[in-house]
Chains A and B, each alone.
Chain A
Amino acid sequence: MTRVAVIVFPGSNCDADTLAAAREAGAEAYFVWHRDTDLQQADVAILPGGFSYGDYLRSGAIARFSPVMAAVANHARAGGAVLGICNGFQILCEAGLLPGGLMRNAQLRFLSRPAWVRVERTDTPFTHLYEPGEVLELPIAHGDGRYVADDRAAAELEASGRVVWRYVRDNPNGSTNDIAGVCNAGRNVVGIMPHPERRTAPVLGGQDGARVFHSMEARHATQHAVDVRAVGDRHLRV
């Protein structure tokens, strides 16, 4: 069972949905308050959506200095999986764990509606159960969702295959290259602007987001199984 720490900042409001989505996928999920400095042996850390610190100064700018973020950075540095959703994505960018930044939507309005994203990369801990090119319907709910990176950084993201999701049909917020989500060079830190945790069951209008959490759980189960086989019989494939 994957141990999933859902970080709660003052102003997080998708923490309960994220916890439920992770548990639904079979993970052992629990909350970690932003003042804590211990992720309690988490395999995965998720920074949920919301409005940490009221989005004061810039979205995510103050949350990135919460005590828990040192533990999240250490976890990421050690190769641990980290997912930032919406405000969590903004915090990871502010913290420098992901490149680029998120600015005010081009149309200025706060957007709360469905959006469509194409899965560009399935070689991350949170997307490997999707098919490459699959189009997902996921809700967006953000005012500062316009992903920006300068030309060089954007070209590098494209060249290194680090755009994980891209908006299709329309670009709701004016993001660079229609980017909806990216990962770091190690591919273990992933950020997404739409909300996969809000589309995990038919009763929620669809389940296109569920495999984000199933991917994370299945990856861990596979790794664990491989570890066991490697101990039991060295000749088995790794």
Chain B
Amino acid sequence: MSAFRVEVRVMPRAALLDPQGQADEHALHALGFGEVARVRVGKHLVLEVKAADRDEALARARAMCDRLLANPVTEDYDLAVETGR
């Protein structure tokens, strides 16, 4: 078993209104960053996962997302696994 660092990015579904992203976008425009076309706000979770190998860490983390960390009705997620330490 080794420890893997799994980074999970959870974002509101693209089709859904993201009022936090809109508020940030408006604030950026007000500060003069007119080049910003769209801002979306999501969540970044960092997990330390013990697993036999990278694939297992990924599979387990995916199960965690499906079960708890992301809501399939309102959110999408993606994962990145860093090499075990």
Known contacts A146-B17, A150-B15: A101-B74 contact under CB 8 Å: yes
Contact residues on B (Cβ < 8 Å of other chain), bracket: 10 to 19
Residues of B within 8 A of A93 (CB): 73
Q: How many residues belonging to A are interface residues under a CB distance threshold of 8 Å? A: 21
Partner of A108, one of B12, B19, B74: B19
Partner of A107, one of B19, B69, B71: B19
Chain A residue at minimum C-beta to C-beta distance from B41 = A104
Instruction: Please give the distance in Å from A105's CB to the nearest CB on chain B.
Output: 7
Verify B71–A104 contact, CB threshold 8 A: no
Verify B68–A100 contact, CB threshold 8 A: no
Q: Is B20 an interface residue (CB 8 A)?
A: yes
Q: Is B23 an interface residue (CB 8 A)?
A: yes
Verify A104–B20 contact, CB threshold 8 A: yes
Instruction: Please give the distance in Å from B56's CB to the nearest CB on chain A.
Output: 23
> What separation, in Å, do the CA atoms of A194 and B13 have in the docked complex?
25
Q: Is A65 an interface residue (CB 8 A)?
A: yes
Known contacts A101-B73, A103-B74: A57-B19 contact under CB 8 Å: no
Q: Is B16 an interface residue (CB 8 A)?
A: yes
Q: Is A61 an interface residue (CB 8 A)?
A: yes
Verify A148–B20 contact, CB threshold 8 A: no
Residues of A within 8 A of B69 (CB): 57
> What separation, in Å, do the CA atoms of A105 and B20 have in the docked complex?
10
Instruction: Please give the distance in Å from A95's CB to the nearest CB on chain B.
Output: 11
> What separation, in Å, do the CA atoms of A108 and B19 have in the docked complex?
7
Binding site for A on B (CB under 8 A): 12, 15-17, 19-20, 23, 68-69, 71, 73-74
A-B contact pairs, 18 of them (CB 8 A): A58-B71, A61-B68, A65-B68, A94-B71, A99-B73, A101-B71, A101-B73, A103-B12, A103-B17, A103-B74, A105-B19, A106-B17, A106-B19, A108-B20, A148-B16, A148-B73, A150-B15, A174-B19
Given contacts A62-B68, A101-B74, A149-B73, 5 further A-B contacts (CB under 8 A): A57-B69, A61-B68, A93-B73, A108-B20, A148-B73
Binding site for B on A (CB under 8 A): 57-58, 61-62, 65, 93-94, 99-101, 103-108, 146, 148-150, 174
